[in-house]
Structure 1
Amino acid sequence: MKRKTISLLLASTLLAGTAATAEDVTLTIESWRNDDLTLWQDKIIPAFEAQNPGIKVKFTPSAPAEYNAVLNSKLDAGSAGDLITCRPFDASLALFEAGHLADLDDMEAMGNFSDVAKSAWQTDDGSASFCVPMASVIHGFIYNKDAFAELGLEVPTTEAEFFAALEAIKADGTYIPMAMGTNDQWEAATMGYNNIGPNYWKGEEGRLALIAGEQKLTDPQWVAPYETLAKWSDYMGDGYEAQTYPDSQNLFTLGRAAIYPAGSWEISGFNALADFEMGAFKPPVQNAGDTCYISDHTDIGIGMNAKTANPDAAKTFLAWVASPEFATIFGNALPGFFPLSSTPVELEDPLAKEIVGWRGECESTIRSTYQILSRGTPNLENDTWGASVAAIKGTSSPAELGQKLQDGLASWYAPQQ
């Protein structure tokens, strides 16, 4: 009898253990955001696990520069995590086309996002979505409120007011009017051309028309931003040609420059370094009363490994990422990385609140070169860096730059031929 009782006890213990094992699922997340490890471990994962007992989550980031290579080798070897953090556009599209990312269109939670938000993680025809959008970054200008108050300046809303403010700052001589250099090139395109440009080409209207071949880079709305950038050099300070991106950041946070052409990702760093109050203003429109457009650029999403052994648990997590709760946690822990869900999120950081508020005032678009148009050679994104620098330095005319970019795009992109 004793032996039988012991056997039954052992059997029931083993069964209980098996049931517990079957119940507990561990999901692993691949990501390049190693700076965010503490945020995931301390805030995001505990909030999810509290609502979903039985699903455990591990956040296992790689170094940003190595992420694509590491992820691809893991996917090829069948050892990648259940959830894949997605870069925007072509890198993630390639993963989907290779069968590594699952189609998520059947998830009801995808209805929480606009077409613009989803565009970074869709097939070209929009028929399949393969990552849940997490956050975007918004472009505009951050300014030193103390400097503006000292000089009696109003926040500019039109281009005429913008250049009048720059001229006043320059004439006073206390501050460099605008902290941006051309040494690293990408800033001139990202915080220059694609910051102010959407007001000229009318955001998505122009961007989609360019993709369709209905507009050309030689059209006035695509050349005019270079004409405006050509005026910036008078206000960027001595030696801007050799000034690096970190140099520009330092000039602004040390209080030596009044205006910084910005991406919202700067907010956390600037908050830690600047000892003055900051404000932000939208890219100025050409005329008072014009519709404003902002570059609200999709930056990070998350998808499901098509070969995960835990698809139901993975979809449960993805549905939660699409929720207002996740958006609130993420948006406040990383001010300047703005949640993309359609439900408004109450942000705490005043500068982040100011910038994200532009979504309610302006039409949103994404950087003009990021979807489809930079897949060939020459690469339009990289060529736009050089063109933006040339416009600022005055080494080529805006019309010449538009023609060169158009010729390059037309050399490989059929709709522009």
Structure 2
Amino acid sequence: MINRKLILCSGAAAVALAIAGLSPVASAQAEELVIESWRNDDIDIWNKQIIPAFNKSHPDVQVRFAPTPPADYNASLNAKLAAGTAGDLITCRPFDVSLDLYNQGHLTKIDAIEGMENFSDVAKSAWQTDDGSTTFCLPMASVIHGFMYNKEAFKELGLEIPKTIPEFMKVLAAIKDEGSYAPMSMGTADQWEAATMGFQNVGPNFWNGEEGRKALIAGEEKLTDAQYIKVFEHLAEWGPYLGKGYKAQSYPDSQNLFSLGRAAIYPAGSWDIATFNSQADFEFGAFPPPVPEGQSTCYISDHTDIGLGINAASKNVKAAETFVSWMTTAEAGELMSNALPGFFALSNHKINLTDPVAKEFVGWRDTCESTIRNSYQILSRGTPSLENDLWNVSVGVINGTMTATEAAEKAQAGLSSWYKPQQ
């Protein structure tokens, strides 16, 4: 808890402090801020890089990173908040989990904090009220979707990076025909991969990113519209190129297949960069989702992943605001982005990255428009959840057990069953 004790000195006490070369302020105890987080793997990054950098300019505010195992985080945090023992700063998951905390009065408004002007509406959307009027967590990092590829395999087979979907399909066919590699490493056993690295990866190029995502929320477009059916039609083309046994292939299996050099392409989330840096013994690179033939604008899923909010019950709100404001800076964004390759600062600062593949991913922001996964804001609050339905139908079209039209109709029926703007 606290933290700062104000020492009021008069007479002899003040003289004694002066003789000792200390001022009343210097002798005050430093404030301590405690950060709650689920990212226990990042403890060294916070303790050895981020917090020391902050303390160079703010030596009077001590910060302690106190993570909880990911699976226990939500329950543990809720219990601490209810008991009044939670830390001063709360690492925020995106959308409704954190929105619920704000609606319960556990998180403060942070719109007025210096530096928040450095974040776009897309960046802030995961930690805002539905009407966008209030932001309650600092957008700290995003992950970007695209494709990783084995550079050695591409060179060996004389392949060029595909820019359009027809080019992409020709590359997959060439790899399959040659036979040395599985064209693409992704399984459907875990389901979420098919939606996250499939539907949400390539889909924004069909529904025009934020324009289409917001139209779905407003009820102005439906999942049975042509652009969504085309996404499912494209996913249905993937099945023959995913390699033997892909229907029983788990996410770790997919990672292993690529890192062992047995697959040429990997539908990716940028968070996999660190995994392949440590496991792959070949050079790999990344390319953005290919666009439909004749389309000039490209879109990427630059998905909001980690935020940072202030506990409304903190006794150190001012110090917490100071820390959050520092986290909006280019210095903090660059530190985190380099310490965690594949997790990218969401501010509009120009960030200097050292990891070559991370630089490729974040470089797409300069040429493509950013959006977020279209099922994450508002549309998965009801039953059935749109997110879960997209897992199911994406698997269906890839496995060939469902047509593109059937997939679109199933997802739309689930959404319109509870979401009024879609009725």
TM-score interval (norm. to shorter): over 0.9
1:4-403 maps to which residues of 2 (within 5 A)?
8=12, 19=25, 22-403=28-409
Does structure 1 retain, via aligned residues, the 8 Å contact 2:14–2:24? no
Distance of aligned partners of 1:400 and 1:148 in 2 relative to their CA distance in 1, 3 Å threshold: same
Q: Hey, what's the Cα distance between the residues in 2 that align with 1:118 and 1:265?
A: 20
Q: Per-residue CA shift, 1:161-198, capped at 9, x if unaligned? A: 00000000000000000000000000000000000000
Q: Hey, what's the Cα distance between the residues in 2 that align with 1:21 and 1:87?
A: 38
SS in 2 for 1:367: coil
Distance of aligned partners of 1:9 and 1:363 in 2 relative to their CA distance in 1, 3 Å threshold: closer
Distance of aligned partners of 1:105 and 1:274 in 2 relative to their CA distance in 1, 3 Å threshold: same
Does structure 2 retain, via aligned residues, the 8 Å contact 1:218–1:403? yes
| Deviation, structure 1 residue 415 | 0.4
Larger helix proportion, structure 1 or 2? 1
| Deviation, structure 1 residue 108 | 2.7
Q: Hey, what's the Cα distance between the residues in 1 that align with 2:294 and 2:152?
A: 26
Q: Hey, what's the Cα distance between the residues in 2 that align with 1:202 and 1:288?
A: 14
TM-score (norm 2): 0.95
Q: Per-residue CA shift, 1:215-248, capped at 9, x if unaligned? A: 0010011121111111101000111000000000
Q: Hey, what's the Cα distance between the residues in 1 that align with 2:245 and 2:15?
A: 78
| Deviation, structure 1 residue 9 | 5.9
TM-score (norm 1): 0.96
Q: Hey, what's the Cα distance between the residues in 2 that align with 1:205 and 1:113?
A: 19
| Deviation, structure 1 residue 106 | 1.4
Alignment partner, residue 3 of structure 1: none
Does structure 2 retain, via aligned residues, the 8 Å contact 1:27–1:81? yes
Q: Hey, what's the Cα distance between the residues in 2 that align with 1:11 and 1:94?
A: 53
Does structure 2 retain, via aligned residues, the 8 Å contact 1:157–1:288? no
Does structure 2 retain, via aligned residues, the 8 Å contact 1:33–1:61? yes
Alignment partner, residue 8 of structure 2: none
RMSD: 1.7
Does structure 2 retain, via aligned residues, the 8 Å contact 1:25–1:54? yes
Q: Could you list the runs of 5+ residues in structure 1 that have no partner in the other structure?
A: 1-6
SS in 2 for 1:330: helix
| Deviation, structure 1 residue 144 | 0.1
| Deviation, structure 1 residue 10 | 11
Q: Hey, what's the Cα distance between the residues in 1 that align with 2:390 and 2:24?
A: 58
Q: Hey, what's the Cα distance between the residues in 1 that align with 2:129 and 2:143?
A: 22
SS in 2 for 1:169: helix
Q: Hey, what's the Cα distance between the residues in 1 that align with 2:100 and 2:234?
A: 36
| Deviation, structure 1 residue 12 | 5.3
| Deviation, structure 1 residue 8 | 4.7
Instruction: In structure 1, give the amino acid aligned to 2:203.
Output: G
Does structure 1 retain, via aligned residues, the 8 Å contact 2:93–2:306? yes
| Deviation, structure 1 residue 394 | 1.1
| Deviation, structure 1 residue 391 | 0.6
Percent of residue pairs bearing the same amino acid type: 62
My pick for the range that moved more, 101-110 or 346-355, is 101-110
Runs of 4+ in 1 over 2 A off after TM superposition: 7-13, 15-23
| Deviation, structure 1 residue 105 | 1.3
Q: Hey, what's the Cα distance between the residues in 1 that align with 2:13 and 2:406?
A: 84
